[in-house]
Amino acid sequence: MDVLTIAQETYDAIVAHAKRDHPDEACGVVAGPEGSDRAERFIPMVNAAGSPTFYEFDSTELLALYKDMDARDEEPVVIYHSHTATEAYPSRTDIGLASEPNAHYVLVSTRECFDEDGGNSDGPVEFRSYRIIDGVVTEEDVAITPAHKPQQESPHS
């Protein structure tokens, strides 16, 4: 089984972003070196749809993001978004639009975190990760690494 390995601070940042944008969906990526599967650089994005049921990166910001990742030889290791009224499982729309076969798709649900008036109820945030390839969803484990380890230079060949 695949596993998403993610630093505690990145996990916390995603959860905080989802809570902050509730009841709208929050979205973003965690970039990492191409082919490394290391989720290293947390990049929250604006949900241009500004909606509780839909998210979309702004097209101009999307281009800037990919150009930036390209310049750094990075790729989106994690693509995350929140569901604010339903479980943290990819919707039919999520599956249909998933277009990064190498990415871990992280779904966060904030539905238990807020009461009906939008007040904080301190409920748990559901945090789950999936591969979505050719319309097939495969859930995977999430391994949280406790503290940020100093980055090691990989040997150059």
Partner 1 sequence: MAIEVRIPTILRTYTDGAKAVEANGSTLTALIDDLEGNHPGIKGRLIENGDLRRFVNVYVNDEDVRFIGGLEAELADGDQVVVLPAVAGG
Site residues, partner 1 (CB under 8 A) = 27, 29, 45, 49, 53-57, 59-60, 62-63, 66, 75-76, 79, 81, 90-94, 97-102
Residue 31: beta bridge partners?
Answer: 41, 76
Residue 28: how many CB atoms within 10 A of its CB?
A: 25
Spatial distance between the Cα atoms of 15 and 11, rounded to a whole number of angstroms: 6
CA distance 113 to 124: 6
Rounded to a whole number of angstroms, the minimum distance from the CB of residue 72 to partner 1 is 15
Cβ 115 to partner 1 shortest distance, Å? 24
Q: Which is nearer to partner 1, 111 or 144 (CB)?
A: 111
CA 15 – CA 32 distance, rounded (Å):
19
On whether the CB atoms of residues 99 and 90 are closer than 8 A, the answer is no
Q: How far is the CB of 90 from partner 1 (least distance, A)?
A: 7
Q: How far apart are the first and last CA of the chain?
A: 30
Which CB atom, from 78 or from 113, has the smaller least distance to partner 1? 78
Nearer to partner 1, 22 or 81 (CB): 81
Q: How far is the CB of 66 from partner 1 (least distance, A)?
A: 6
Q: Which is nearer to partner 1, 56 or 144 (CB)?
A: 56
CB of 56 to partner 1, least distance (A): 4
Q: Is 79 helix (H, G, I), strand (E, B) or coil?
A: strand
Q: What is the rounded distance in angstroms from the CA atom of residue 128 to the CA atom of residue 87?
A: 10
Question: Closer CB to partner 1, residue 68 or residue 150?
Answer: 68
